[in-house]
Copies of this chain bind each other. A is one copy, B any other.
Amino acid sequence: MKIRIGICGYGNLGRGAEAGIAQNPDMELVAVFTRRKPVESLKINSDVPVVHVSDVEYWKDKIDVMILCGGSANDLPEQTPTFAKIFNTVDSFDTHAKIPEYFKTVDAAAVAGGKISIISIGWDPGLFSVMRLYAGAVLPSGNTYTFWGPGVSQGHSDAIRRIDGVADAIQYTIPVDEAVERVKSGKKVEFETREKHKRVCYVAVDSICGDEDKARIEKEIKEMPNYFADYDTTVNFISQDELRTNHGKLMHGGQVIHAGKTRDNNNQVIEFSLKLDSNPEFTASVLLAYARAAYRLSATGEKGARTIFDIPPILLSGRDRDDVVRDLL
Partner of A16, one of B24, B263, B271, B289: B263
A138 to B103, CA, bound (A): 23
Partner of A133, one of B267, B271, B313: B313
* Nearest-Cβ distance from residue A281 to partner chain B, whole angstroms: 4
Number of copies of this chain that the complex holds: 2
Contact present for B139 and A285 (CB under 8 Å): yes
Q: Is A326 an interface residue (CB 8 A)?
A: yes
Interface size class on chain A is 35 or more
In the complex, which of the residues A99, A127, A136 has the most CB atoms of chain B within 10 Å of its own CB atom? Answer: A136
A56 to B96, CA, bound (A): 48
Partner of A273, one of B136, B263, B271, B289: B271
Scoring A residues 285 to 326 as 1 if CB is less than 8 Å from chain B, else 0, what string do you get?
Answer: 110010010000000000000011111111011110110111
Give A69-113 interface residues, CB cut-off 8 Å to B. Answer: 96, 99-100, 103
* Nearest-Cβ distance from residue A72 to partner chain B, whole angstroms: 13
Q: Is A278 an interface residue (CB 8 A)?
A: yes
Contact present for A281 and B263 (CB under 8 Å): yes
Q: Is A328 an interface residue (CB 8 A)?
A: yes
A316 to B311, CA, bound (A): 12
Contact present for B138 and A289 (CB under 8 Å): yes
Contact present for B307 and A282 (CB under 8 Å): no
A314: nearest chain-B partner, CB-CB: B309
A-B contact pairs, 16 of them (CB 8 A): A19-B262, A20-B262, A23-B139, A96-B329, A99-B325, A132-B328, A133-B317, A136-B328, A137-B289, A137-B316, A268-B275, A268-B276, A268-B277, A268-B285, A271-B273, A272-B272
A27 to B263, CA, bound (A): 16
Q: Is A141 an interface residue (CB 8 A)?
A: yes
* Nearest-Cβ distance from residue A198 to partner chain B, whole angstroms: 22
A288: nearest chain-B partner, CB-CB: B138
Known contacts A309-B329, A325-B307; decide if A262 and B289 are in contact (CB<8 Å): no
- Residues from chain B with a CB closer than 8 A to the CB of A100 are 322, 325-326
